Structure 1
């Protein structure tokens, strides 16, 4: 966050979201401060039943899959 004469401003930010519902989903949420709105974007890859996310210090994002044999993407 930075400040300007008009008050604090927030740069665009985005993060991954994983949700279990009727259909498990993985997508990216992007915050647009100029419109004060969130935008949901589909993931770049289709994953089979993702249920948890973990960030690696290198910047990689891992998703664990809820399948009988288990999976890490």
Structure 2
């Protein structure tokens, strides 16, 4: 998976410049980290990256780094 492409998508969804997308970025305080963004992100992951991430995982994440880790773990799981 192209992490730069994912960061670009996340920047648009979170309405933040890519330069602000650090691993320690807290998601919950962001006004744009809402249910619509989470559903849209799931669609982007599926449509553009062929990745099916379980929706409940997004509710458990605290930081952007944890999101990247969840994506990496999903990629590593056997199909």
TM bucket (normalised to shorter chain) is under 0.3
State the structure with bigger RCO (CA 8 A, min sep 6), 1 or 2. Answer: 2
* Higher relative helix content: 2
* Higher relative strand content: 1
Query: Which structure has the greater CA radius of gyration?
Result: 1
Normalising by structure 2, report the TM-score: 0.24
